[in-house]
Chains A and B, each alone.
Chain A
Amino acid sequence: MHVILPTLPFTLSGFIRLVITSWQLSGAFSASELSICVALLALFVNQSLVQHTELLENDDKRADIAAPAAGFLVLAIILLISFALIVTLESISNVYKLDTFGPTQSVDDFVYLFSVIVVGCAILVQRSYRLKARL
């Protein structure tokens, strides 16, 4: 649930575009949507870790939890910056009518790769700290 819910807008919009464009993969998925979705996922994980309480207290546990919580906050910030960067670059390419704009594609690639890593980390941390999604 931690992973599925925040990434739902990205997968749903991608699927709708796929259907409308008769399963044309190119342009169906948006890197800006993915970056904001995964940024939210990283923030959810951060908040789950911050609010995580241990049933049987152990002095060393708090230190363990504070570290990945901080890590996920930084990951979220990187993705939010990427989102802002993609939107800015897309606007520039639209205004100046640039069909293929190199920097946008590079940032897109970065977001796709980085998101895979963040989602993987979120799953590992969820298994390590027994985080539960609360709606």
Chain B
Amino acid sequence: MSSKLGTHVSQMVVVATAVAVMATILLTFFRIESTTPTTLTIINLIVLGAVVLLTTAIFMRQTPISYRVAIVGFPSSGKTTLIVSLFGEAFDRRISSFRMIPKGATTIDRINSGLARLQMGRALGPTQDQDLFAFRADVRITRFPLPVIYKVEFGDFAGSASQLFSQEDVMPLPHGSDFFKWIADSDAIVLVVDLGRYLMSLETRKQYVVKMTTALRATWQHFLDVNEDRRGRVRRHPLVLAFTKADLLEIVKDEDPASVQSKITKWGFGVEVPKVHEVDSQYLSKEGVSVMNDFSELIRYFEGESGRFKVVFTSSFALSNEKRLGLDELMAALLPK
């Protein structure tokens, strides 16, 4: 901690003071040399502009902009796996548009242990209430004239907490809870739909679609409600409807319902995870259209509500062009323009 403190204090105080002192000496020198007030004013403006540019460049590197991404979904819908896989893709440089560096010992430990677990073919297991945690990363985006660094936090919540947020009829909303406040103040929202539950059986599919449509619409409406004073700005925030476990769409292909159910139970909700494999993108796109048709009411609603709404199919185990399905697209949709 002491080294961090030293770095910040020296950067903020020493640089600011040194720059101001040097500029003052410069101005005093020009005041002595200058004969006309106009020349002095121009010199003043030039020095001031240079000081502002220099210090902005230095401090913007040290004080990245806070950016919160809330990932909301029902229990075991793959929220933690999605976050861990996003970091994994960034480590493998498969997400090319920006650099993502995990920040803080806890985040680094959780990400690496999560990735190791997935590589060993074991599921991450459901997040517990005591695990409420924000994964932190510095994301550097190249912009003109200076690159911008965002301090991105991915809020990982137990699915049971998300349920409280979205379903008023289940339990009273935990309006005072840290979970609720965090989501209310977030800059981007990912609403997760679990394709495992959707594909489980044809009989319950309609019921699941209705349940998710109601719950996710209510989540968005609560989000707008608590942000009453900044609704316009909130509507310009990224809003992503992420269909997780998209690799399971392949299982439905040429399989009988009983086999589909057992495979989905095993790969979607079991203790094991599928092997990472290349998928038939064309088939998944076709199936994706069918899924989107079922959720068309919800999609239309969000398209009308948010200026930056996007639907993404993601999978931590399906590769498309050697990249994990939809993760690049998800990050591009989430980050600020």
A contact residues vs B (CB 8 Å cutoff): 55-56, 58-61, 63-64, 66-68, 70-72, 74-75, 78, 102, 105-106, 109-110, 112-114, 116-118, 120-121, 124-125, 127-130
Contact = CB atoms under 8 A, between A and B. Distances in A.
B116 interface: no
B146 interface: no
Nearest to A105: B31
Given A60-B106, A116-B52, A127-B65, A67 B7 contact: yes
Interface in B165-207: 178, 181-182, 185
A124 B52 CA distance: 13
B78 interface: no
Interface of B: 1, 4-5, 7-9, 11-13, 16-17, 19-21, 23-24, 27-28, 31, 47-48, 51-52, 55-56, 59-60, 63-66, 103-107, 132-134, 136, 151, 153, 155, 178, 181-182, 185
Query: For A64, A102, A129, which residue has the most chain B Cβ atoms within 10 angstroms?
Result: A64
29 contacts: A55-B178, A56-B155, A56-B182, A58-B133, A63-B5, A64-B4, A67-B4, A67-B8, A71-B11, A71-B12, A75-B12, A75-B13, A78-B13, A105-B31, A110-B24, A113-B19, A113-B24, A114-B16, A116-B48, A117-B51, A120-B55, A121-B16, A124-B59, A124-B60, A125-B63, A128-B63, A128-B66, A130-B66, A130-B185
A113 B47 contact: yes
A63 B134 CA distance: 16
A71 B51 contact: no
B28 A105 contact: yes
A68 B12 contact: yes
B13 A60 contact: no
Contacts of B59: 120-121, 124
Nearest to B17: A78
Contacts of B28: 102, 105-106, 109
Contacts of A64: 4
A124 B63 contact: yes
